Structure 1
Amino acid sequence: MTLAEGKKVYFSSDNHLGAPTPEASKPREKKFVSWLDEIKDDAAAIFLLGDLFDFWFEYKTVVPKGFTRTLGKLAEITDSGIPVYFFVGNHDLWMKDYFKTELNIPVFHKPQEFSFNNKSFFIGHGDGLGPKDKGYKRMKKVFTNPFFKWLFRWMHPDIGMKIGQYMSVKNKMISGDDDAKFLGEDNEWLAQYAKRKLQDKHRDYFIFGHRHLPLEIQLNETSKYINLGDWILYYTYGVFDGTTFELKKY
């Protein structure tokens, strides 16, 4: 994609709407919707890098209650012709086709590559990548197993949602609470993952979420790893203006 003059690409991650309770997260949701409303005037594209919700599970005919402001604003944006891309995180692994069908938002379950103004971007949520996260990697295999998803779908939604919401908050391997401190450049496992990917192919930017920390790490002279932070403590987001990428605070 070549950006028109004055247009920008925006990136956001880790809103965890609904946590710790729907009532408590409502001010954060309103702030996020205000941000979406502001950027729509110059956005060429918007990337949401996962964990938009603290828990999300799509039954065949049922989706979680709430988040009306966010879903309505996203529908308005895509209806206006601005593309929005969604990458599932560890809290919304169970997305299927609701976003695509209702909001015209493609949903990706693995990192993808994009190009803007001849700059290459490797984009994903970041969970399960790199040399660590072994406990979560094992748990993810269970969560993404079609048989276990089929079993969970047989629960009444009122029961299934309560269990899912409880696990999202209480289980450290899901919630990622232990990750919210800087480990040092040599120990940041997403940076290590990016460095290994550079051995196969050059990318200008590696953009991830999941870590809940706004980070910029120079991988070599021409490549950079960016972590977008979150909308719980930092309210940070990324923006590419066609030439440079910046982390900003809202």
Structure 2
Amino acid sequence: MKKTLQNPSKFIQNPIFEILDGAIFIADAHFSPNDLKAFYLLEELLKNPPVQVFFMGDIFHLLIGSIPSSLKDHQKILKKISQLSQITQVFYFEGNHDFGIQQKTLPYTTIIKRKNQPMQFSYNNKTLLLAHGDIFISPLYEFYIQSITHPIILKSLFFLDCITFGKLYKIVRNKIMQKEIFALKNPKKFLSKRTNSYKNYAKKYSLSYTRILEGHFHCELENQNYKAIPSFFCQKKILRIINNDFEAFIA
């Protein structure tokens, strides 16, 4: 029987988490409500649960955890994730399309807030930095994302959703759903820029790491110190780590 994470709030106090052999990573699925791909993937995971599952952000195309209408939209998928987290260890990294998720929504899941990313993990005596990936982009973007994820803004969105009976959320949702989702188009300078950003961050906070693992950019690039998690939406793949190696496969 798979080990269940009984107390995620206590577990998260550990400064370095452990990645187990056979863990899988899913990023940038951009699931919409009643998405059949979501149900198929989660049903497969429920039937054959890996030792760990890492949802690495942007699993939903739009999920704002403080908005009742948004939670209702994705209730069926969230229920599947909750069921999965009761039979195996599940981590959920907030992304820029899914944030403000409260512990009561996924009570057995370890939720990694954006403000705590990148997060240190250990694997076979190596240290990895994990993040959704929408970090170190630009001061303007950082101001935007910190603003919309601020607790006061999230609470305001809750009240707006209530007094508009979900109509305001539906307007925003429909606009977001029309947004194009695409893979990284100009990867030539991407790797060096990303690795340098992480290097500067690690130096600033006196962190040591062996490799970076992130999603967000919808690509499969890698080098000795960096591994991009493929987008489930764009590349139709998920990532698995086994025997000190990452393997991407179509799910």
TM-score > 0.5, shorter chain as reference: yes
TM-score by length of 1: 0.76
One-letter amino acid matched to 1:32: L
After TM superposition, give the deviation of residue 113 of structure 1 in Å: 0.9
One-letter amino acid matched to 1:16: H
TM-score by length of 2: 0.76
Q: In the superposition, relative to structure 1, how do residues 69 and 152 fare at CA in structure 2: closer, same or farther (>3 Å)?
A: closer
Structure 1 residue aligned with 2:110:
106
Q: In the superposition, relative to structure 1, how do residues 187 and 208 fare at CA in structure 2: closer, same or farther (>3 Å)?
A: closer
Structure 2 residue aligned with 1:237:
238
1:10 aligns with 2:24: yes
Distance 1:2 1:14 in 2: 20
Distance 2:138 2:182 in 1: 11
1:180 aligns with 2:184: yes
After TM superposition, give the deviation of residue 159 of structure 1 in Å: 2.0
Structure 2 residue aligned with 1:149:
154
After TM superposition, give the deviation of residue 186 of structure 1 in Å: 5.0
One-letter amino acid matched to 1:136: Y
Structure 2 residue aligned with 1:221:
none
After TM superposition, give the deviation of residue 146 of structure 1 in Å: 2.8
After TM superposition, give the deviation of residue 213 of structure 1 in Å: 1.4
Counterparts of residues 81-230 of structure 1 (less than 5 Å): 82-101=88-107, 104-109=108-113, 110-111=116-117, 112-127=119-134, 129-130=135-136, 132-155=137-160, 156=162, 157-169=165-177, 177=181, 180-186=184-190, 189-197=193-201, 199=203, 200-218=206-224, 224-230=225-231
After TM superposition, give the deviation of residue 237 of structure 1 in Å: 1.8
One-letter amino acid matched to 1:191: T
Distance 2:190 2:145 in 1: 25
Structure 1 residue aligned with 2:82:
75
After TM superposition, give the deviation of residue 74 of structure 1 in Å: 2.5
Distance 2:219 2:156 in 1: 35
> What stretches of structure 1 of length at least 5 have no aligned partner?
219-223
Q: In the superposition, relative to structure 1, how do residues 60 and 185 fare at CA in structure 2: closer, same or farther (>3 Å)?
A: closer
One-letter amino acid matched to 2:195: A
Q: Report the aligned-residue RMSD.
A: 2.8
> What stretches of structure 2 of length at least 5 have no aligned partner?
1-17
Structure 1 residue aligned with 2:45:
36
Q: In the superposition, relative to structure 1, how do residues 134 and 117 fare at CA in structure 2: closer, same or farther (>3 Å)?
A: same
Question: What is the SS of the residue equivalent to 1:217?
Answer: coil
Structure 1 residue aligned with 2:5:
none
How many aligned residue pairs are there?
A: 226
Counterparts of residues 15-26 of structure 1 (less than 5 Å): 15-18=29-32, 22=33, 26=35
After TM superposition, give the deviation of residue 170 of structure 1 in Å: 5.6
After TM superposition, give the deviation of residue 167 of structure 1 in Å: 4.8
After TM superposition, give the deviation of residue 228 of structure 1 in Å: 1.0
Question: What is the SS of the residue equivalent to 1:154?
Answer: helix
One-letter amino acid matched to 1:70: I
Q: In the superposition, relative to structure 1, how do residues 137 and 162 fare at CA in structure 2: closer, same or farther (>3 Å)?
A: same
